[in-house]
A = this chain, B = another copy of it.
């Protein structure tokens, strides 16, 4: 045997363990091949200056772990890791049962030289790093720093929780029967609400198209989605009432402002109608509002939570879109009995939300830095949205339609028939632009021509360049497809 184990007598690790580790690693890597004979215990003990029982203990462990076979009188032989063990765990089989039906989203993103309209997230370049640093420094200087580092409460870091709740009261969002829990962003708030209210086979009414993260969350819970078509006037009321009556959903999840992927905002009349319908059916409304603070023009509308006199709405918000998505802090505001149960689910799920980031974001908000940053985000967002809409008008061929959001991060584009935005993507990426095709967001209404342009992460000149490329690709594809659809002249 070429391999001589190197032992460290000063180590905390017992020598038999060191021996075992080194043999096991070499057997698993294949360096010691199947069938190879290990030195006799006496021989190896002599070679290494060890007690023979130390070597024997290591060999015993190797045998128990199924890595070698000891044959009385003949010695020990590498058994090797059998490619298909007779015993053991069938991971593929075990994982099959709970496999989510829907893919969790597109794999990969755009390449290096591709202008990516792919991610609905703020621009890295706009992060106010100095203000962030100043907020962290203030937290490091706090007298309760040790409390921030200690195990916390499932409800959230109490100073932040109180700040958010008081702010919600000032805005008339929170009534006397309401409570608030801090979560890891909006996503976890939705997750906890699902855990508390849903069981497998339950139906959840959602907008169609809908944010992919909600699709995969609900699929993972075994819930069925009932899509309600969403347009500029809001949810399709007739369809909503049909779903509420026939499918008896456990929840209605809606995005009140600048919905992802469409960018649409529910008009006031649609909010009132939706609350009336859900209230009559006794169905709770989850108002997801990650983008509400990013309104670039027009007037803010009252939240569903504010309009709902019956206490049937829970509002979900987050710091992520308006500040730093890498810090995972959001919250849910709703009736106390629900929030109590969310707190239990939160504790079971991950004990509590990270307290360092909660303290930093509280400081960022209380110091006025968040509001200053939001003002800059609103200016930048307005520019980027305007650049997107202008570029759509200038570069996209006739017959293309798109939404005209008043805020948020996304514009929804519908290419002229018979184009398929999914089929077009490979070519678009080759030409230098990437987006998400509509199918990722579809519930039951497939719109092959639809695609999402997430503009917030790109400077205006990039947006212009990207949409120009998209326009070129679409035009050339239209020319190609219109030829393909034209009857060949020889056939006339």
Contacts and interface: CB of A to CB of B under 8 A. Distances in A.
Given A309-B81, A350-B328, A95 B341 contact: yes
B309 A191 contact: no
A197 B95 contact: yes
Interface stretch (A142-150, A238-246, A440-448, A466-474): A142-150
A352 interface: yes
B272 A64 contact: yes
A338 interface: yes
Interface string A406-449: 00000000000000000000000000000000000000000000
A398 interface: no
A149 B200 contact: no
A33 interface: no
Contacts of A171: 21
Contact of A338 (B14, B91, B176): B91
B199 A88 contact: no
Interface stretch (A37-45, A124-132, A257-265, A385-393): A124-132
B98 A196 contact: yes
A220 B195 contact: yes
Given A98-B199, A147-B326, 6 more contacts: A64-B272, A105-B347, A127-B146, A191-B348, A216-B344, A217-B348
23 contacts: A24-B172, A28-B176, A65-B307, A88-B312, A91-B284, A94-B250, A95-B337, A98-B197, A105-B347, A127-B149, A132-B145, A149-B327, A150-B324, A151-B326, A185-B351, A187-B349, A191-B349, A199-B200, A200-B200, A213-B347, A326-B355, A328-B352, A353-B354
Interface of A: 12-14, 17, 20-21, 24-25, 28-29, 61, 64-67, 81, 85, 87-92, 94-95, 97-100, 104-105, 119, 121, 124-125, 127, 129, 132-133, 136-137, 140, 145-152, 171-172, 175-176, 183-185, 187-188, 191, 195-200, 213, 216-217, 220, 250, 268, 272, 275-276, 279-280, 282-284, 299-300, 302, 306-312, 320, 324-329, 335, 337-338, 341, 344-345, 347-357, 360
